[in-house]
Structure 1
Amino acid sequence: MRVTCIVGARPNFMKVAPILAAMRPLDAIEPRLVHTGQHYDERMSTLFFRELGLPQPDAYLGVGSGSHAVQTARVMELFDADLDQHPADVVLVVGDVNSTIACALVAAKRGVGVAHVEAGLRSRDRQMPEEINRVLTDQISDWLFTSERSALDNLVAEGIDPARVHFVGNVMIDTLVTHRAAAARRPVLADLGCTPKGYAIITLHRPSNVDTPEAAANTVRAVEAVAARLPTIIPFHPRTSGKLQQFGLLDRVTSLPGVRVVEPQGYLDFLCLMDNAALVFTDSGGIQEETTALGVPCLTFRDSTERPITVTEGTNVLLGTDAASVPDAVEEALKGRRGARVPEYWDGKAAERIVAVLSRASS
């Protein structure tokens, strides 16, 4: 079985790495890696590939940034040409970025099987572009690999045949389990002057939080509330710093006492920072999962989450987007009273289960 695996943005790297590692020893599967270049920073991509043990991509499409329409169309055009030269039996896509739906559409229209890892996650918020990508990718997928059991209910409600759905667990946690010990040895805490469990991390980048002057100002007020309680590390997403600069708010953040603004971090350094944080304040999807696996309190600055298990079983609190609620939420999180457990099958073996399903299909 020729399986072409797609990565388009850095969160995809962490999801595909354990799948490729599980495929490599098998005679029944011939994997190929295509990097669309949807998000590309040469330094960070090289660092992530090296730290995660990913092979160099067999193809790099170099799509770059653009509107959702332009980016999706460009990925489709270039990936369609790539499949002309390198036919596949299965195209495996992960997550919910534009490259996910674009490559899935190309494969489905060519009659190539589609495998979607992280299927069935729903925020119920159709204003999130990622939600549209998730729903549409699931509709055209032949194998739907889920990270939590509630995803099956979402898929069945949307008319998906349960026989196509496989509960395998969370591949991002595979990567975390594999690299946690190495991350613990990184010198990043000393380099940044951090005391274990004595600081917060903030990551914010979603359009709803930074793309208008009003949303950005509200987000800055939230940052101020966290920083008033704890020393704070902020690895700024480029679009976040750009928007804050545009709205005249960047200096307000960087001048806050106790705030350390740093460049985006490599996987191992960021894992080390998360693992040792007292609190993470974020609007990221994947960080909700990673903090749950690590047992670190997480406050999610969003009105909805596509990962409800991180709230019902994990360490995540869905806070909404009212900055006025942040001080009390931070105090509650720091009390450490919230009971939490690592969800089922978040055990470092999700990739093995995915590859076992595909292997059976190839025989």
Structure 2
Amino acid sequence: MKITIVAGARPNFMKIAPITRAIKAAQDTGKRISYRLIYTGRQDDANLDASLFSDLDMKQPDGYLGISGHDHSEVTAAIMIAFEKELDNHPAQVVLVVDDLTATMSCSIVAKKRGLKVAHLIAGTRSFDMNMPREVNRTIVDAISDYLFTAGMVANRNLNQEGMIPDYIHYVGNILIDTVRYNRHRLLQPVWFSSMGLEKKGYLLLTLNRHDLLDKKQVLSALMQTVVDKSCGMPIIAPLHPYVQKAIKALEIDAPHLYILPPQSYLHFGYLINNAKGIVTDSGNIAEEATFLDVPCITLNSYAEHPETWRIGTNELVNEDPVVLATMLERLMHEEWKHTTLPDRWDGRTAERIVQTLINGELK
């Protein structure tokens, strides 16, 4: 079985790395299975820092489609044309796609029209807001996939309610936890950590990525001021991409204990998550890692891709409400936060279940 695995952005690789290791393990037992890893972006993409693949203990992509841009339609068309050529040159039986990006949708459509099997990793997540491009992407991909790999029973229910074929739905668990478990003992303290006088559980970690939040300057200002005011002078460590740094600095917030830093490598950033007193973020992935690591997490969003993070995990949703954020920060600073209950199948064996399902599917 030849599998083409598609990555459309840096976070995809955190979920693909365990799959590549599971395929290698299957090969070592004599299974006839191989993969080709494709990145839809450029080889010189600044987001793919030199340490990423060594940190994740995986090889670099076998091919790059070289597509970049912000216009959804143009990027969709360019990826589809480039991916057609990729499959012409390197045929596959299965195309495995991750999450809900434009690249995910584009490559799924190409594969399906060529009569190939489509496997969707992290299927069934829903915001129920079709004004979100990612909701459109994930709904289309799920509708045409032959393997729907879900992380939780809520995702299963979503797919069942949408009339998906039950035999296509496979509850395999959260693939991101495979990566966290694999790398927990490999996390590295950044060289600047001690020189800044930081201590374990003695700082807040702040991350932001959502463009729609950054565009709301008054809302963003109120949220940032709340974090600063309610942190009780505790250092706020904020590794941010340049476009986020620019938006935060434009607010001109006076906060000597807010440290805006460049993005960190995977193992350094994992260390910061693992040792933070608490996290304020707009990232679903970070909320999942925080739940596994039992670190308090506040998410600046109205929904979570994996509701388990707030139902039984350490996550709390505050949307973009500074009043609710203030309440949660006060609870965090006063050691009144809930502890995690580890969700079902967050056991680090999700990739094994996925690969075994694909192998079994070929035998039918």
Task: Give the TM-score, by structure 1 length.
Answer: 0.93
Is residue 129 of structure 2 the alignment partner of residue 125 of structure 1? yes
Contact persistence 1:24–1:31 (CA under 8 A) = no
1:347 to 2:351 alignment: no
1:11-60, CA deviations, whole angstroms, 9 ceiling, x for partnerless residues?
A: 10100000011102423211110011179644743211121122121111
Secondary structure at the counterpart of residue 49 of structure 2: helix
Partner in structure 1 of residue 328 of structure 2: 329
Determine the C-alpha separation between the residues in 1 that align with 2:130 and 2:233: 34
Contact map agreement 2:105 2:137 (CA 8 A) in 1? yes
Q: Is 2:180 aligned against 1:176?
A: yes
- Partner Cα separation in structure 1 for residue 191 and residue 200 of structure 2: 12
Give distance in 1, aligned partners of 2:292 and 2:172: 16
1:106 aligned to which of 105, 110, 118: 110
Per-residue CA deviation, residues 322-342 of structure 1 (Å, 9 max, x unaligned), is: 123222211213424414211
1:260 aligns with 2:259: yes
Q: Is the 8 A contact 2:40 2:66 kept in 1?
A: yes
Partner Cα separation in structure 2 for residue 124 and residue 2 of structure 1: 34
Q: What amino acid maps onto 1:198 in structure 2?
A: G
Alpha carbons of structure 1 residues 10 and 43: separation in structure 2 relative to 1, 3 Å: closer
TM-score of the aligned structures, taking structure 2 as reference length: 0.93
Provide, for residues 199-223 of structure 1, a one-character-per-residue CA deviation record: whole Å limited to 9, x for no partner. Answer: 1111112123112333433343344
Q: Which structure 2 segments of 5+ residues have no match?
A: none
SS of equivalent residue, structure 2 residue 75: helix
Q: Secondary structure at the match of 2:238?
A: strand
Partner residue of 2:303? Answer: 304
1:220-235 residue pairs with structure 2 within 5 A?
220-235=224-239
Q: How does 1:242-257 map to 2 (within 5 A)?
A: 242-244=246-248, 248-249=250-251, 251-252=252-253, 255-257=254-256
User: Between the two proteins, what is the percent identity of the paired residues?
Assistant: 39
How much has 1:192 moved relative to structure 2? 4.2
CA contact (8 A) 1:301 1:319 kept: yes
Aligned-residue offset at 1:99: 1.2
Aligned residues: CA RMSD: 1.9
**Closer/same/farther in 2, CA of residues 192 and 130 from structure 1, 3 Å limit:** farther
Letter in 1 for 2:24: R
Task: Indicate the larger mover: 142-151 or 333-342.
Answer: 333-342
Distance 1:213 1:186 in 2: 31
What residue number does 2:55 align with? 51
Partner of 1:198, secondary structure, is coil
1:155 paired to 2:159: yes
| Alignment partner, residue 30 of structure 1 | 34
Quote the Cα distance in structure 2 between the aligned partners of 1:28 and 1:312. Answer: 41
AA aligned to 2:307 is P
Decide which of 193, 197, 200 is 1:189's aligned counterpart: 193
- Number of the residue aligned with 2:362: 362
Segments of structure 1 that go 5 or more residues without pairing to the other structure are none
Residue 209 in 1 paired to residue 208 in 2? no
**Which whole-Å CA distance do the structure 2 matches of 1:275 and 1:260 have between them?**
18
User: Shift in Å at residue 227 of structure 1?
Assistant: 4.2
What is the rounded CA distance, in whole Å, between the counterparts of 1:40 and 1:296 in structure 2?
34
Q: Is 1:209–1:219's contact at 8 Å kept on the other side of the alignment?
A: no
Relative distance call for 1:165 and 1:322 in structure 2 (3 A) is same
Separation in 2 of the partners of 1:360 and 1:352?
12
For residue 317 of structure 1, give the secondary structure of its aligned residue in structure 2: strand
User: Counterpart amino acid of 1:178?
Assistant: Y
The one-letter amino acid paired with 2:298 is: L
Q: Tell me what 2:245 maps to.
A: 241
How many Å apart are 1:186 and its aligned residue? 5.6
Deviation at 1:129, TM superposition (A): 2.1
Letter of the 1:345 partner, please give it: R
1:306–1:229: structure 2 CA closer, same or farther, 3 Å change rule? farther
2:238/2:260 contact within 8 Å kept? yes
Contact 2:204 2:278 in 1 (8 A): yes
Structure 2 CA distance for aligned equivalents of residues 99 and 176 of structure 1? 25
Judged with a 3 Å threshold, the aligned counterparts in structure 2 of structure 1 residues 54 and 192 are, in CA distance, closer, same or farther, namely farther
Q: Is the 8 A contact 1:125 1:304 kept in 2?
A: no
Q: 2:222 aligns with which of 218, 229, 254?
A: 218
Question: Matches of 1:9 and 1:152 in 2, distance apart?
Answer: 25
Deviation at 1:65, TM superposition (A): 2.7
Q: Tell me the equivalent position of 1:295.
A: 294
Compute the displacement of 1:187 (Å).
Answer: 4.5
Matched, 1:62 2:66: yes
In the TM superposition, residue 351 of structure 1 has moved relative to its aligned partner by 0.3
Tell me how far apart the structure 2 counterparts of residues 234 and 173 of structure 1 sit (CA, whole Å): 23
Distance 1:236 1:172, change over 3 A: same
